[in-house]
Chain A
Amino acid sequence: MSTHQTRTEPAAAVAPGRTPTSLTQGTGGLTKGGIGESTLRPDGILKVTGEFAYSSDLWHEDMLWGYTLRSTVAHATIASIDTSEALATSGVYAVLTYDDLPTEVKHYGLEIRDTPVLAHGKVRHHGEPVALVAADHPETARRAAAKIRVEYEDLPVVTDEASATGPGAVLVHEGRDDHHSGHVPHPNIVHRQPIVRGDAAAAAARADVVVTGDYVFGMQDQAFLGPESGLAVPAEDGGVDLYVATQWLHSDLRQIAPVLGLPEKKVRMTLSGVGGAFGGREDLSMQIHGCLLALRTGKPVKIVYNRFESFFGHVHRHPATLHYEHGATRDGKLTHVRCRIVLDGGAYASASPAVVGNAASLSIGPYVVEDVDIEAIALYTNNPPCGAMRGFGAVQACFAYEAQMDRVAAELGMDPVEFRQINAMEQGTVMPTGQVVDSPAPVAELLRRVKARPLPPERQWETTEGADVRALPGGLSNTTHGEGVVRGVGYAVGIKNVGFSEGFDDYSTARVRMEVVGGEAVATVHTAMAEVGQGGVTVHAQIARSELGVTQVTIAPADTQVGSAGSTSASRQTYMTGGAVKNTCEAVREKVLDIGRRRFGTYHPAWATAELLLENGRVVTDGGEALADLADVLDGEVVDLELEFRHRPTQAFDLRTGQGNGHVQYSFAAHRAVVEVDTELGLVKVVELACAQDVGKALNPLSVVGQIQGGTTQGLGVAVMEEIVVDPVTAKVRNPSFTDYLIPTILDTPTIPVDVLELADAHAPYGLRGVGEAPTLSATPAVLAAIRQATGLELNRTPVRPEHLTGS
C-alpha cells in the first residue's frame, strides 16, 4: 500500500506536507492483475474514505495564500488600477497586476496565445483575472483584493453571431496575427472549417423528403468536484516547483515557463490529486499566478478556488446554434446533408479551433452520406471562454443530427432505428473528409443491441401502499402520484474521434524500470500522464504485469522529470500512454531476455530458439516451459528505459474542402432512453438509459463500464438540467454555483445497463478503442427523443426546462 503524509506530521524543510505519492500495487497471486481483468483502483479506497490528498489539500510550512481579483463586467476598458490600499494591508506580501509581469511574454493559450496572464487595458469576459494578492491567510488575501480599486469603462458587449459579425461589430481581439486570422471571414471568427464532398445541391434534387431544423445547445460545465488548486514553491536555483491538478503537465509547462522567464527545466511540475477534469483542466488556471506570487515573495504560495470562482476558473462546453438540412429517398436512403454549426468560443480561443475541426468532420454522424456541404465556425464573443469538454464538438453535432434522423424517419413513416440502420456506416465507409474508416464500425449492431433489450416495466411507481414518489418525475418533491405521467422511448447513436487529430504530433512517453527488490522482480512505471479519475494508474500496472510477468508494479507520481504523456483527453490515454507503457515494457522485456541469454543461454536451447515470455516472475517458452526466475536473470541488474510512442500520423483538413485523413480512430456508442414525463408540470424522470459501445478491447472491464455510465450521466445532465446561464445583455454568468447549476443526483441517474462489444482495431495497442467520450454524445439526443415521443413537442433546444414542456 502507499503511504500518505498527513497534516499532523511535521513537514520537511522543502517538500510540501501533502504531495503526490507513489501508488504501489501488488496482487499477491500468480499471473493476476493483467490486462482484461477488473483490477481495482489503487487509490479507490483512499478516495472513498477521504484519505486521498487532492491538490486542494496541499500544504507547506510558512506558505502564503494567493487570491485572484476578477473582473465584475464582461467587456470594459480598464481606466485605472489602484493597489496601494491592498498593499498596505497587514499580512499582505504582494499585489501583482499586468505591469508586474516579468518578461515580454504576457499571454498564454493552448493553440493561440491570446489569453492575458492578467488583464491589460481591457477585460473581455466576466471573471477575467485582473490582479493577484498573496497574504499570510486566505481571508486576508480576499479582503486585500477587495481594496483594489479598478475603474472600468464599459464597452459594447459581443454576445452572438449577429453582434460578432454584423455591420459595425466591435472586435473582441484587435490586430490578430494568429495562424487562423488569414483565412477566417471576420476577425471575430476564431476558425472556420468547411467540408464539401460530392454535390449536395444535385443530390437534394433526388430527395423525396427534405427536413430542415434549427437547434440550440446550451453551455455545459465540466462540474468537476475538485476545484482548481495548486502550490508553487520557489527553489534555491531560482526556479519553482509547482504541484497542481491538471490534464497535461507538459502543455502547462510550455505555457508557464516563458511567462516566468525561466527555462523549462527550472519549472518542475508534479501532478497533485485531481478531482475530475472532463476537459476543464486543459487550459491554465492558477498555474502561472501561483508561480508569479511565489517567485515575487520567495515563499510557497497556495491558490485554491472556491466553487463560485471555479465557474470562472475554467472554460466550458461551447454553446452552439446548428442549422441542418437532411434529404432522403422514399426507401430510406440519405441523399445529402447540409449543415452550419456556430460555436460560441467566448472571449479567448482556448481549444476552439480543434473543436471546430471536430464539429465539422463529425457533423453528419455515423452515417453514409456521399453528398455533403458542411460549415463549422467558432466565434469570439464576450461570453465566458469555451474550450474542451468531454465530447469536444461532436456532442453538439450529435444532438442536432440525431434529432434530424428522427424527423426524417417520421417523414418517411419509418422506424427511427431501422432508418438509422439503413444508413449506418461500417468498416470501409468514406467520411465526409474523404477518410476511409479502416477498422470495425458496428453502428447498426449497437443500435440493434439497445433496441433488443427488454423495456423496463411500466408504472414501476405503483406499490400496494400507493405511489412510490422516488420512481416518479419530481421524486421526493412529491409533485405527482402518477397524474400526467407519460412514457417515451428514444434512440441515438454517435461517432467520436480518439486522440489528437489534424496532423498534430501526438505522442506519449513512458519510462519503465525493472529490478529485483527483496528477492522479487518488480517494475516501476513512470509517466507524466495526468490521472484525473479515468483509471490510467490501474491500467498501466495491468499492462506492466502482462508484459513483464511481475506481480508488483509501482506507479511513480506523474511529473515533468519524464517526457510528455500528452493530454488526458480525447479518449486517448489508454491508447496513447497505455500504448507507450506497453511499448516500453516490450523493450524492457527484450533487454531482460538479452541478459538472460547472456547468463543462461548455454544451459537450454530454448533461450536461442523459442519465443520467450515473462510470466509469473519467470522466463517461459511459448510452450509454457520455465527457463529461469526473473530474479535470477536480473540478479543485481536494473533495466530502465524511457521511450516515446506515436499513433499513426494524421493530416490537416484542407481549409477549403475539409478533405484529409484527419482522425486517428473512431469510437461509437448507442443509447436507448426510457423516460417518464409529467406532462402537466414538465418534469422528467429518466427511467433507463441503456448503452451499447464498441471498445475494441476492454483492458479493465470495470473501468470501461464506469466510464460509459459516467459519460452517459453527463449526457443526461445536459439533456434535462445542466446549463450555465449567461445574461444576453450583460454577458455575465447568472448561476455560478451548484445551487443553481444543477448536475444529476443519484435520484436523477437511471439504471444504465451497458453492453460492451470488443471488436479489435488492428492499428491500436491490444486492439483497444478509446472509451471515455462516445457515451456522452448519444445520451443527450436519446433522452431528448424520448421526451419528444412522450410529449409530441419539437424540442429543438437542450437542456429542456420544465417551461419548455408546459408551454408556460
Chain B
Amino acid sequence: MDFLRPASWQEALAAKAEHPSAVPIAGGTDVMVEINFDHRRPAYLLDLNRVGELAEWETAGDIVRLGASVPYTRIMEHLRRELPGLALAAHTVASPQIRNRGGVGGNLGTASPAGDAHPALLAGGGEVEAVSVRGTRMIPIDDFYLGVKRNALAPDELIRAVHLRKATGPQQFSKVGTRNAMVIAVCAFGIALHPDRRTVRTGIGSAAPTPIRATAAEEFLTAALDEGGLWDNGKPVPPAVARQFADLVAAAANPIDDVRGTASYRRHALAVMARRTLGWTWEQYRGEQQEERNQPCA
C-alpha cells in the first residue's frame, strides 16, 4: 500500500488523476476501520490532511460552502444556526474523539446508507463540489447516491466541499440506535422546512440501499400545508395529515432485516420519527411566526 501525501489541492488532484484507484483519507474514521478489519486493501491511500482549505468553510449569500474535512465538532459548534439539521446529525456521530476527526466528505465518499450526515444533507438540500484535473462540477445531492456504498464521483474526482443552503426554516434530525450514544443508525430521519419556497424536504438513512428522500411524503405534506393555508395562518398540522405523512415516509423506505434491527421495526420507527420531527419543526415555525406577528411595526 502506497501512501500519497500531496502538499496542496492541485497536487492532490494530480495524484488522484494519476492513481484513480487511490482512496482518499482525511480523518480516517471510516477508511481506517475498513483497513483494520481487512475489508479493503487499497493500492494507494491519498492523505488529504495537508490540504488545509478542506477543513475550512465560508458563507456566500444563502450558501454555506463546507469543506470536505471540516470536523463534525466544528459543525456542531459553529454552524448550528446555518445548518441546524446537519449540526443535530453531527451530534449523533460516534464519539467526541471521532467527531473531532471525521467530516462530511468522508460520509459522502463512503456513501454508506448508514452515514449520519446524509438525511440532513438530503433534507437541507445542496450540491457536492466534485473536482478533478479536468475541472469542477456541481452534483446535486439528490443525484449523488447511486447504490450501496456507490456515489456519483468519477474515478479521478475528489470532494472539495458541499454547498448547502442556509436554513430558512426549522430543521430536525432523529436517529434510532440500540444504545444512547456512539451507535450506528438502525434508521435515521431528517426533515427541513423551507418556508421561503413553501416546501418540505426529508432524508432517510439506513432504511434503503442508499440514503433517500421520501418524495411522496414531501409532496403530500407540501400540498396539505398549502391547501390548509398553514404557512400563513400558523395553525397546527392536523393529526391526520401528520399520520399520513408518517405513513408515506415509512412507505418510502426499503429496509432489510439485519443484525441491527428488523425491516418492520425500521419502517415503524421511521413513521414515529417522521411524525415527531414534523411536530417539532412545525411548532418551532409557528412559534417564530407568532413572534414575528407580535413584533410592533417598525
Q: Do A and B bind each other?
A: yes
CB within 8 Å of B: which residues of A? 142, 306, 308, 473-481, 483-484, 680-683, 685, 720-721, 725, 734-735, 737, 739-740, 742, 744-748, 801-803, 806, 808
Given contacts A735-B259, A740-B259, A803-B261, contact A478 B88 (CB under 8 A): yes
CB-based nearest B residue for A146: B38
Cβ-defined contact, B181 with A478, below 8 A: no
In the complex, which of the residues A473, A735, A747, A803 contacts B262, with contact meaning CB atoms closer than 8 Å?
A: A803
CB-based nearest A residue for B263: A808
Cβ-defined contact, A478 with B267, below 8 A: no
CB distance from B95 to the nearest CB of A (A): 8
Interface segment out of the listed B51-59, B138-146, B171-179:
B171-179
CB distance from A783 to the nearest CB of B (A): 14
Interface segment out of the listed B42-50, B153-161, B213-221, B272-280:
B272-280
CB contacts (< 8 Å) of A680 on chain B: these are: 272
Interface segment out of the listed B63-71, B102-110, B182-190:
B182-190
CB distance from A74 to the nearest CB of B (A): 17
Rounded to whole angstroms, the CA-CA distance of A363 and B179 in the bound complex is 30
CB distance from B104 to the nearest CB of A (A): 18
Which bucket holds chain B's interface residue count? 35 or more
CB distance from A732 to the nearest CB of B (A): 11
CB contacts (< 8 Å) of B181 on chain A: these are: 475-477, 745-748
CB contacts (< 8 Å) of B269 on chain A: these are: 681-682, 802, 806, 808
Given contacts A478-B88, A478-B172, A481-B280, contact A748 B180 (CB under 8 A): yes
Q: Is the interface of A mostly helix, strand, loop or mixed?
A: loop
B264 on the interface (CB 8 Å rule)?
A: yes
CB distance from A681 to the nearest CB of B (A): 5
Cβ-defined contact, B259 with A479, below 8 A: no
Cβ-defined contact, A308 with B91, below 8 A: no
CB within 8 Å of A: which residues of B? 33, 36-38, 88, 91-92, 95, 172-184, 186, 259-262, 264-265, 267-269, 272-273, 276, 280
In the complex, which of the residues B92, B180, B265 contacts A473, with contact meaning CB atoms closer than 8 Å?
A: B180
In the complex, which of the residues A480, A735, A801, A802 contacts B276, with contact meaning CB atoms closer than 8 Å?
A: A480
Q: Known contacts A742-B179, A801-B261; can you find 17 more A-B pairs with CB under 8 A?
A: A473-B180, A477-B175, A478-B174, A478-B175, A479-B276, A680-B272, A681-B272, A683-B178, A745-B181, A745-B182, A747-B179, A748-B179, A748-B181, A802-B178, A802-B261, A803-B264, A808-B265
Rounded to whole angstroms, the CA-CA distance of A16 and B269 in the bound complex is 54
Given contacts A803-B264, A808-B267, contact A477 B182 (CB under 8 A): no
Identify the 10 closest CB pairs spanning chains A and B, nearest first.
Answer: A475-B180, A808-B268, A803-B265, A747-B181, A477-B175, A747-B180, A745-B181, A734-B259, A808-B264, A808-B265
Rounded to whole angstroms, the CA-CA distance of A481 and B174 in the bound complex is 11
Cβ-defined contact, A476 with B259, below 8 A: no
CB contacts (< 8 Å) of B272 on chain A: these are: 479, 484, 680-681
CB-based nearest A residue for B272: A680
CB contacts (< 8 Å) of B172 on chain A: these are: 478
CB contacts (< 8 Å) of B186 on chain A: these are: 802
Rounded to whole angstroms, the CA-CA distance of A745 and B177 in the bound complex is 13
Could you list some 21 contacts between A and B, CB below 8 A? A306-B36, A308-B37, A474-B174, A474-B177, A476-B181, A477-B181, A477-B183, A478-B92, A478-B172, A478-B174, A681-B273, A682-B265, A682-B269, A685-B180, A740-B259, A746-B181, A747-B179, A802-B178, A803-B262, A808-B267, A808-B269
CB contacts (< 8 Å) of B173 on chain A: these are: 478
CB contacts (< 8 Å) of A748 on chain B: these are: 179-181
CB contacts (< 8 Å) of A746 on chain B: these are: 181
CB distance from B176 to the nearest CB of A (A): 6
CB contacts (< 8 Å) of B92 on chain A: these are: 476-478
Cβ-defined contact, A744 with B176, below 8 A: no
Cβ-defined contact, A474 with B180, below 8 A: yes
CB distance from B3 to the nearest CB of A (A): 14
CB distance from A13 to the nearest CB of B (A): 33
Cβ-defined contact, B183 with A742, below 8 A: yes
In the complex, which of the residues B33, B178, B262, B273 contacts A808, with contact meaning CB atoms closer than 8 Å?
A: B262
Rounded to whole angstroms, the CA-CA distance of A648 and B88 in the bound complex is 60
CB contacts (< 8 Å) of A747 on chain B: these are: 179-181
In the complex, which of the residues A479, A480, A720, A740 contacts B260, with contact meaning CB atoms closer than 8 Å?
A: A740
Rounded to whole angstroms, the CA-CA distance of A808 and B250 in the bound complex is 13
Rounded to whole angstroms, the CA-CA distance of A734 and B33 in the bound complex is 17
Cβ-defined contact, A721 with B276, below 8 A: no
CB-based nearest A residue for B183: A742
Could you say which of B92, B181, B186, B261 has the most chain A C-beta atoms within 10 Å of its C-beta?
A: B181
CB contacts (< 8 Å) of B267 on chain A: these are: 808
CB contacts (< 8 Å) of B273 on chain A: these are: 479, 681
CB contacts (< 8 Å) of A801 on chain B: these are: 178, 261
CB contacts (< 8 Å) of A306 on chain B: these are: 36
CB contacts (< 8 Å) of B182 on chain A: these are: 745
CB-based nearest A residue for B180: A475
CB-based nearest B residue for A472: B180
Cβ-defined contact, A683 with B260, below 8 A: no
CB contacts (< 8 Å) of A734 on chain B: these are: 259
Rounded to whole angstroms, the CA-CA distance of A478 and B92 in the bound complex is 8
In the complex, which of the residues B91, B176, B184, B280 contacts A683, with contact meaning CB atoms closer than 8 Å?
A: B176
CB distance from A742 to the nearest CB of B (A): 5
CB-based nearest B residue for A806: B268
CB-based nearest B residue for A735: B259
Rounded to whole angstroms, the CA-CA distance of A780 and B47 in the bound complex is 46
CB distance from B184 to the nearest CB of A (A): 6
Could you say which of B36, B173, B179, B183 has the most chain A C-beta atoms within 10 Å of its C-beta?
A: B179
